[in-house]
Structure 1
Amino acid sequence: MSDKDLKKLARQHIDLAWNKGHLALVEQFHSPDFLYKSAFTERPLDNLGYRKLVEEIRSGMSDLEVAVEECIREGNKVFTWSTLMGSISRPVLGYPVSDRIVSISAMGFWVFNSQGQVQELCTLFDMESFRAQMGLQNRPFSEKALP
Structure 2
Amino acid sequence: MTNDNKMLVEQFIHNAWGKGRFNLVKQMVSRDFLYHASQSLETNDIDGFIKEVDGLHSAITDFDLAIEDIMTDGDRAISVMTLCGSFIKPVFGFQPNQKLVGITCAITWTLQRGKVRHINLMIDIAHLQRQLAAA
Give the partner amino acid of 2:68: E
Structure 1 or 2: larger strand share? 2
Q: State how many pairs are aligned.
A: 134
Cα offsets for 1:48-82 (capped at 9, x unmatched): 10011011111111222221111111110111011
Instruction: Indicate the residue corresponding to 2:89 in structure 1.
Output: 90
Instruction: Indicate the residue corresponding to 1:75 in structure 2.
Output: 74
Q: What fraction of aligned residue pairs are identical, expressed as a percent?
A: 30
1:58-137 aligned within 5 A: 58-113=57-112, 115-135=113-133
Instruction: Indicate the residue corresponding to 2:18 in structure 1.
Output: 19
Unaligned runs of 5+ in 1: 137-147
Unaligned runs of 5+ in 2: none
Measure, in 1, the Cα distance between the counterparts of 2:23 and 2:40: 21
Cα offsets for 1:78-105 (capped at 9, x unmatched): 1101112112112233321222211222
Q: CA RMSD in A?
A: 1.3
If the length of structure 2 is used for normalisation, what is the TM-score? 0.92
Structure 2 counterpart SS, 1:34: strand
Structure 1 counterpart SS, 2:34: strand
Measure, in 2, the Cα distance between the counterparts of 1:93 and 1:125: 10
Measure, in 2, the Cα distance between the counterparts of 1:94 and 1:69: 25
Measure, in 1, the Cα distance between the counterparts of 2:108 and 2:114: 15
Measure, in 2, the Cα distance between the counterparts of 1:12 and 1:61: 21
Is the contact made by 1:71 and 1:78 (CA closer than 8 Å) also made in structure 2? yes
